[in-house]
Amino acid sequence: MPTIQEVSRKFKVSSSSIRFYERKGFLSIPRDKNGNRIFDEESLTRLELVLHYRTAGVSLEDIHEIFKNYMNHQVSVQLLKKTAQDLDNKIAELEKQEYF
């Protein structure tokens, strides 16, 4: 099972970001007898999801809601639509600024 440094390199994310996501409750990473994080498949999958959502511009609050309601796909779809609308608004705002 990979260590935090190996996972950090694999996903091109800092170790401190991984620790942050763990502290915020997005990840529950098992530890060995020495207290070192040992990533299992579930931890790796959840980290990958968090990183994909963040890359797509989904807020941490919305990611938390998606994970909390993971069986309710309507909630996930609503939150992703909200993110898409937020991004559209940002694009429109930037385009508007470009013309001034």
- For the chain, state the CA radius of gyration: 17
pLDDT at 86: 84
Written as six digits, the tokens of 47 are 């980290």
pLDDT in tens, 62-90: 888 888 877 556 766 787 788 788 888 88
For the whole model, what pTM was predicted?
0.71
pLDDT in tens, 33-65: 999 998 999 999 999 999 998 998 888 998 888
CA distance 56 to 52: 6
* pLDDT-based confidence at residue 100 (cuts at 50, 70, 90): low
pLDDT at 94: 84
pLDDT at 51: 96
CA distance 46 to 26: 7
Among candidate residues 45, 43, 86, the one with its CA nearest the CA of residue 62: 86
> Tokens 């694999």 belong to which residue?
10
Among candidate residues 12, 3, 13, 10, the one with its CA nearest the CA of residue 36: 3
pLDDT at 72: 58
DSSP state at residue 31: B
